[in-house]
Copies of this chain bind each other. A is one copy, B any other.
Amino acid sequence: MTRGLLIVVSGASGTGKGTVCKKILTDLPEVAYSISATTRTPRPGEVDGREYYFLSVDEFKAWIADEKFLEYAEVYGNFYGTPLNKIEERLNRGEDILLEIDVQGALNVKRKCPEGIYIFLLPPSLEELKRRIEGRGTESPESLSRRLKNAVAEIKIGLEYDYVVVNDSVDKAVAEIKSILTAERLKVARNADKFKLGEDFK
């Protein structure tokens, strides 16, 4: 069984990573989202291990103590986390796992999982980034300026990633990510078994 790919997609706010990741999941049936763990109560129809791994607070804290999380946070009294143990299980079953994560979070993941594929999305231009951030709502000019400044600072962090994809069109960005995944699957390091071809030859 070939181990699956851990695909980490990130980018400064306003680069459209949510839209790109949704399309990856639609277009590439072999890729599945990472499933988070949470302590919140399941809603009707939610299945443990499908929408979330549902844990008690004690279980969640035990997972924290056992360093099972790539990252976790408390939001409005509930815990949410990305469980590395579950990702590992799925990768070992040959599943490709997509992780959509903020810029700094992705670098933390990279330290723990250097064999992952780290893809950074860039906006096509500074003007387009401004337009996208402004288009989101009715924030004050000061808040917009701060968010733009943060986005520009986050872009520098992209130099720590493996690949950079300019998101000027979602279709083009997803096609490029598809090529990245094809190439990564062809790396010699992931295909040692193919070289056993001649071993039964005398």
Interface residues, chain A, CB within 8 Å of chain B? 120, 122-123, 125-126, 129, 148-149, 151-153, 155-156, 158-166, 176, 178-180, 182-184, 186-188, 191-192, 194-195, 197-198, 200-201
Closest to A123 in B: B197
Expressed in whole angstroms, the Cα–Cα distance for A162 and B159 within the complex equals: 22
- Distance in angstroms from A159 CB to nearest chain B CB is 6
What are some 19 contacts across the A-B interface (CB < 8 A)? A120-B188, A122-B194, A125-B197, A126-B198, A126-B200, A148-B201, A156-B195, A158-B195, A159-B192, A163-B188, A164-B188, A164-B191, A165-B186, A166-B194, A176-B186, A179-B179, A179-B183, A180-B186, A183-B183
Give Cα A123–Cα B191 distance, bound, in whole angstroms.
14
Q: Please report the C-alpha to C-alpha distance between residue A153 and residue B198 in the assembled complex, in whole angstroms.
A: 8
Closest partner residue, chain B, to A199 (CB atom): B152
- In the complex this chain forms, how many copies of it are found? 2
Asked if A163 and B183 sit within 8 Å, CB to CB, the answer is yes
Report yes or no: B191 in contact with A155, Cβ–Cβ below 8 A. no
Taken together as a complex, chains A and B put the C-alpha atoms of A152 and B43 apart, in Å, by 58
Say whether A194 contacts B164, CB under 8 Å.
Answer: yes
Q: How far is the CB of A116 from chain B (nearest CB, A)?
A: 14
